[in-house]
Structure 1
Amino acid sequence: MPRSDTGSLCDLFAEHVVRSPDAPAVAYGPTALTYRQLDRVTNSLAARLRELGVQTDRLVAIRAERSVSLVVGMLATVKAGGAYLTLDPALPAARSRTVLEESKPVALLAEAGGEDPSGLGIPVLTVAGHLGDAVWDSAAHDARVDGGATPDDLAYVVYTSGSSGTPKGICVTHFNVAQRTRDVDYLRFDPGDRVAQISNASFDAATIEVWGALLNGAELIGFDRDTILSPGLLARALRERRIDTMVVATPLFNQLAADDPATFATVSQVLVGGDVMGVSQANAVAALPNCTLLNGYGPAECTTLATAHHVTPMPPDQLRVPIGRPISNTTCYVLDEALRPRPAGVPGELYIGGDAVARGYLDRPDLTDERFLPDPFATEPGMRMYATGDQVLQLPDGTLDFLGRTDFQVKVRGFRVETNEVDATLLQHPAVAEAVTVADTDAQTGDKSLVSYYVTTAAGTAPETDDVLSFLRDRLPEYMVPARLIRLPELPKNANMKIDRARLPAPEKPSPVTAGAATGELDDEITALIGQLLNVPHFGREENFFDAGGQSMLAIRLLTQVGRRFDVAMTLAEFFEDPTARGIADHIREARS
């Protein structure tokens, strides 16, 4: 499709404002806007952004949870001609500052305003000031704000983990987004459909949710975090809100499908991506009538998605769910080190070409040239392909099978992590001399967690593990903080004096924890449950679940088991208030009383 015929995201959204102005566009909790109303509030905010100097290829940071404010900020930014950069409010201040220092946004949008959290003096705008009936019901805001963005201009920048110790920003254009969300063959987006918005704002899957809905006349339905992470609540909400399409990260899908496959029974299309899909979970959901399950694959450098596989029931002993075939406007090549095609059945590195290959990395021309290469197989001049670093092979039927990484990049809970970045952050600690991080896979669940090995400096006293963990939590997103830290006298080296990962000691597998059957006390029973889940012997009643290596996916599993065993519902938010065995036991006692 010629770029001149595609139009910017603003143009494509405007088509539906003209065609169906009173059709529902977005709903989060009590706030629901039609296409006309969403157009008006984003025109209002876009005009303010223009006053601040927003123009093509200039960034606007958005710091908001899943909310109407997030969607309004995204659309208003591209209307003003700029590109948005979403920041997770849970990011440590040091990492947010690093991202903001490099990206240099013109403004920062926040739900409730306040000061610039980075201390860089970035003007902060409150989105809520443009959200109200005085704006969305006023024809005075019908005049379109046109920042002059073209299909080749930036639409957004998303940051991912970087091997050098610094996160890197991926630059995605209007054209890239349109190719992924309009007239596509992997999902069906029709006017009037209801699309769930459950992805974290800083996770690139939100691209498919938000723009897949708004560029096709569908309605975007927001879900709060407690609902998303509570299987029973989510199943009921999907049914009550009549969701047609949802995109879900693989770790969350695996957890929900293992708990109750019927969670997805009322959803017409479920797109899963970000990690390795469990075969048994896939089979259970694929067997549901009237539910199409898709296993998607794609790096953020290729605008979220590159391949998709329509999952049908598989033999239970099958090792993996294929990642499928290239989706529309995409080409995939399995190549050797000399960029020669590999025959079917022979592993090689996956290279992705087509119209959704991103522009490159923000202010990183060296890294861009390394990973974004001229496409020698393209029929059009100037096309590029992205070197994924992933090993795949082509099956006899033409589908692709994912084998793993060629470098030290891993997926943890659906997030891409460069283990070298964790190492680089560890080495910033004044008492750490050497460090290496690896992914450990749970033999029973297949879940991956990070394990960091480190050597302390000769001078001074070795730091306590809690001190090192606290140091990392202040600098890394929660999903990048290792579940376990192991201090060694030295790291094993090979003959070339490089760290020999194969000789690292395996993380200790503790003996099973037995329940307090002798005392029969509720606290002991919960303590034993957590100890078994985390593989931590002698887990204490007052010990913090997350400090002991727990994370959100394990918390969901824990609360599901608690609910079944004690017939008591507990939300993740309630657990966060006191994430201890005693806290759960107190909640159960209070519910029973």
Structure 2
Amino acid sequence: MTPDTVQHTRHLTRAWKLLTGAATAVGGSPAAVLHAAMRVLLARTSGDEEISLAVRPGPDGRPYTERWSYDGATTVRALVRADPPLGHPDAGADGSSRPLPTWCVGPVCGAGDADRFPVQIEADPVRGCRIHLDGGRYDEREADRFADRLDTLLHAVAADPDTPVARLPLLGDAERSHLLALAGDGLADRGGVRLSALILAQCRLTPDAVAVRDHHESLTYRDLRERAEALAATLRRHGVVPDSAVAVAAERSAALVVALVAVLLADGAYLPLDTSWPAARIRHVAAEAAPVLVLCDEPYTALMAECFDAPVLPLSGGTGTDRVSGGFPATNDGEPGAVPAASDRDTAYIIYTSGSTGWPKGVAVPHRGIVNRLLWMQEQYGLTPEDVVLQKTPYTFDVSVWEFFWPLIAGASVMMARPDGHRDPGYLVDLVREAGVTTLHCVPSMLGLLVEEPGLGACTGLRRVFASGEALSPSLANRFHQLHPAELHNLYGPTEASIDVTHWTCAQVEPGPTVPIGHPIVGVRALVLDPADDLAPFGSPGELHLGGVCLARGYVGRPDLTGRQFIPNRFSGGSGDVLYRTGDLVRWNPAGHLEYLGRIDHQVKLRGLRVEPAEIEAAAAEQPDVVSAVVLLRDDLPGGAKLVLYVVPADGAELDADGLRARLAARLPEYMVPSCTVVLPELPLTANGKCDRKALPVPARRPAGDRGDRRRRTRR
């Protein structure tokens, strides 16, 4: 700091006593204890495993730079014993009350000019500890937090210098209370209502309004109710009761909406199937989810009959390949029988998403989660009977759920895009304009294509656009607002938490380096936790943990995986017994908004589709000619981001890359089959023996016309 720099000064009156007490306990000096504490504070709040500190020990000391590798298992005692006390071996080394010279510390800035250091600290037995912070880097609120954290840390070190530094508390009461308030309480009383009841209520309220239309037919709410109730009766006769899974294999159409509503009216849970999945993947889902029957479009009857032991019926519920006779559970349409009572905790739908074990995992979402999500959306954005919502997201992805059902509980209309139409930005712009669509969802990669379409500005009826599934960049948000006056909302959420859990309304100009994901919705608790599972300070990265009524019930047939991802909630406060570990790295920015930073693992999003590289790696490693495999999403290849598979062949094996790709395609959905394969004699390793993903080579450029260039685009 220079003499004319604005400074924020904070006093820690008890710090000197704490420093000398800790110094005596560890056999070091107050200077060394303070140095160690600052290392821990800056490393913990930055989230970096390696930090570079610039230090000036005293007003006349020579500035120097040190690099320190953070180890959460070490202790302040170990740090003090390992390092000299800042070049002042006589500065209180005996634990006496001699004052410490003013010294400076902070991230490296400039060429070691001490006057530019953002933090200066003085300590003596009379005035305690005084912290001077650069006003250009810290505002008043951040200065208060910095001082509170150092004070809390010094208290903890004095109490027990042998506590691992990762578990030393940083947060004062004020910051902790503020973080918990921002996280939300996770509570929402929706009266125990089920989604099916909300839809029926709307059908009775506006029977003659258009509920859903596709390119071939238009159904009023009366039509929807009559057809769905007739099909629901058929489903009950086939044994559908609360929590029964009903698989659905169909193209996008008005008839699909009827089928989904019918499953809900029958108290079942619908299980959408992607008919382009390999048969092996469908059989895995069939064995794990065990649906009581399958509804499908006629072209898929043979495939479904091959993969399922359950009855296979046409989407309309007519005569199908019913191979089950007798022994059905009692129906719940008035006949006697021990049918479980329906509850808002019953499963409403099951969506399979990429898993890390080599096979996908099924997420079971209860009625109370999706009802809360849809009612919040209506309270927040308020559809009217004049609104038209475009349904274009494939129904195997959870965004489709609000596209189907939000308009149906609000008296609005659903416009069904043609099958595969979600991949064609030109068609989508034309449909939005011609059908009078007012509400649209796009993953940012598709939004980037839409803003390049010349007809977007002519979509004058478009009022609101929702973006989710990928990080939304400020440049794309600002580009959209330059071209169209519609609201743009950035939503975030995993499948395991009823679609979306945070929301942000984009400004006309988003000024920051990122677009925030915003704040928790009603019924969500969003806690940012550090590696020690404590609250991460403001501005510090941490893993997002979710609680509240939004949570899924877990993974179908996978209690082991459910137990690992849905963990006990020690911050309960009435918000539920468990928290879901998202694996997403986020932070609360100084203004109190959540920002998405990335992943703590290798999960990626490819054109809005969730991909666990470990699932692909496991499938490849099971092949007899492969010893090890690593998958990387590379964005430095021609044509945009692509999955690249790196494999080490078994000894003596002649690995055929095209043959390996074909074997993977028999198990994985198309979007998860790597675009190209790189064969390596061995994988590059880091010092600790893990694969060094940063050292994996860029694939050699393949000739035009290969599979990487021919791949079908899949966007939600």
For residue 157 of structure 1, what is the amino acid of its counterpart?
I
| Superposition pairs of residues 193-208 of structure 1, within 5 angstroms | 193-208=387-402
**TM-aligned CA distance change 1:54 to 1:226, over 3 Å:** closer
1:88-111 residue CA offsets vs partner (Å, 9 max, x unmatched): 111111111111111111111102
Larger mean CA deviation between 447-456 and 101-110 belongs to 447-456
1:10 and 1:78 in contact (8 A); partners too: yes
**TM-aligned CA distance change 1:6 to 1:119, over 3 Å:** closer
**TM-aligned CA distance change 1:224 to 1:381, over 3 Å:** closer
**TM-aligned CA distance change 1:7 to 1:108, over 3 Å:** same
1:421-443 residue CA offsets vs partner (Å, 9 max, x unmatched): 00011112221111011111248
Gaps of 5+ in 1: 132-143, 511-535, 557-593
Quote the residue 2:328 is aligned against: none
Q: Give 1:444 shift.
A: 9.1
CA distance in 1, matches of 2:316, 2:517: 41
Larger mean CA deviation between 482-491 and 281-290 belongs to 281-290
**TM-aligned CA distance change 1:381 to 1:197, over 3 Å:** closer
1:459-518 residue CA offsets vs partner (Å, 9 max, x unmatched): 44222x21111111111111111122101011123344332223222334x4xxxxxxxx
Q: Give 1:257 shift.
A: 2.1
1:287 and 1:312 in contact (8 A); partners too: no
Larger mean CA deviation between 191-200 and 153-162 belongs to 191-200
| Superposition pairs of residues 572-587 of structure 1, within 5 angstroms | none
For residue 94 of structure 1, what is the amino acid of its counterpart?
A
1:88-143 residue CA offsets vs partner (Å, 9 max, x unmatched): 11111111111111111111110226232543322111024569xxxxxxxxxxxx
For residue 315 of structure 2, what is the amino acid of its counterpart?
V
Q: Give 1:191 shift.
A: 3.1
Q: Give 1:9 shift.
A: 1.3
TM-score, scaled to structure 1? 0.81
1:10 matched to 2:196? The reply is: yes
CA distance in 2, matches of 1:9, 1:121: 29
**TM-aligned CA distance change 1:229 to 1:77, over 3 Å:** same
Quote the residue 2:466 is aligned against: 271
Quote the residue 1:356 is aligned against: 550
For residue 356 of structure 1, what is the amino acid of its counterpart?
C
| Superposition pairs of residues 383-422 of structure 1, within 5 angstroms | 383-422=577-616
Of 306, 315, 319, the match for 1:127: 315
Quote the residue 1:580 is aligned against: none
CA distance in 2, matches of 1:267, 1:399: 27
2:671 and 2:714 in contact (8 A); partners too: no
Quote the residue 2:559 is aligned against: 365
Q: Give 1:297 shift.
A: 0.8
Quote the residue 2:363 is aligned against: 170
Larger mean CA deviation between 222-231 and 20-29 belongs to 222-231
Quote the residue 1:153 is aligned against: 346
CA distance in 1, matches of 2:376, 2:630: 45
| Superposition pairs of residues 73-472 of structure 1, within 5 angstroms | 73-112=259-298, 114-115=301-302, 116-128=304-316, 148-184=341-377, 185-225=379-419, 227-260=421-454, 262=457, 266-288=461-483, 290-314=485-509, 318-380=512-574, 382-442=576-636, 447-463=640-656, 465-472=657-664
TM-score, scaled to structure 2? 0.67
1:57 matched to 2:252? The reply is: no
1:159 and 1:167 in contact (8 A); partners too: yes
CA distance in 2, matches of 1:314, 1:365: 46
Q: Give 1:39 shift.
A: 0.8
Q: Give 1:389 shift.
A: 0.7
1:55-92 residue CA offsets vs partner (Å, 9 max, x unmatched): 11110000012112321221111111111100011111
For residue 114 of structure 1, what is the amino acid of its counterpart?
T
CA distance in 2, matches of 1:459, 1:103: 40
CA distance in 2, matches of 1:207, 1:51: 26
Larger Rg: 2
1:256 and 1:263 in contact (8 A); partners too: no
**TM-aligned CA distance change 1:255 to 1:424, over 3 Å:** same
Larger mean CA deviation between 115-124 and 397-406 belongs to 115-124
2:631 and 2:643 in contact (8 A); partners too: yes
CA distance in 1, matches of 2:493, 2:312: 33
1:27-74 residue CA offsets vs partner (Å, 9 max, x unmatched): 111211111111111111111111111111110000012112321221
Quote the residue 1:483 is aligned against: 675
**TM-aligned CA distance change 1:96 to 1:284, over 3 Å:** same
1:520-565 residue CA offsets vs partner (Å, 9 max, x unmatched): xxxxxxxxxxxxxxxx4x42xxx35x454644169x9xxxxxxxxx
CA distance in 2, matches of 1:476, 1:381: 37
Q: Give 1:192 shift.
A: 3.8
**TM-aligned CA distance change 1:28 to 1:205, over 3 Å:** same
2:548 and 2:576 in contact (8 A); partners too: no
Instruction: Give the percent of matched residue pairs that are identical in Structure 1 and Structure 2.
Output: 36
Quote the residue 2:104 is aligned against: none
**TM-aligned CA distance change 1:448 to 1:165, over 3 Å:** same
For residue 370 of structure 2, what is the amino acid of its counterpart?
V
Secondary structure in structure 2 of the residue aligned to 1:421: helix
**TM-aligned CA distance change 1:444 to 1:166, over 3 Å:** closer
CA distance in 2, matches of 1:52, 1:194: 35
For residue 466 of structure 1, what is the amino acid of its counterpart?
D
For residue 678 of structure 2, what is the amino acid of its counterpart?
I
1:56 and 1:153 in contact (8 A); partners too: yes
1:30 matched to 2:191? The reply is: no
CA distance in 2, matches of 1:149, 1:360: 19
Larger mean CA deviation between 448-457 and 436-445 belongs to 436-445
Q: Give 1:245 shift.
A: 0.9
Secondary structure in structure 2 of the residue aligned to 1:182: helix
**TM-aligned CA distance change 1:548 to 1:233, over 3 Å:** closer
Quote the residue 2:322 is aligned against: none
Secondary structure in structure 1 of the residue aligned to 2:447: helix
2:516 and 2:593 in contact (8 A); partners too: yes
Secondary structure in structure 2 of the residue aligned to 1:498: coil
**TM-aligned CA distance change 1:287 to 1:188, over 3 Å:** farther
Larger mean CA deviation between 233-242 and 193-202 belongs to 233-242
1:374 and 1:382 in contact (8 A); partners too: no
2:548 and 2:575 in contact (8 A); partners too: no
For residue 160 of structure 1, what is the amino acid of its counterpart?
T
Secondary structure in structure 1 of the residue aligned to 2:404: helix
Q: Give 1:255 shift.
A: 2.1
Quote the residue 2:19 is aligned against: none
Quote the residue 2:59 is aligned against: none
Q: Give 1:378 shift.
A: 3.6
Q: Give 1:414 shift.
A: 0.6
CA distance in 2, matches of 1:404, 1:263: 35
1:194 and 1:242 in contact (8 A); partners too: yes
**TM-aligned CA distance change 1:191 to 1:435, over 3 Å:** same
1:350-385 residue CA offsets vs partner (Å, 9 max, x unmatched): 112222111111121221122112333343163432
1:254 and 1:278 in contact (8 A); partners too: no
**TM-aligned CA distance change 1:340 to 1:549, over 3 Å:** farther
CA distance in 1, matches of 2:679, 2:376: 53
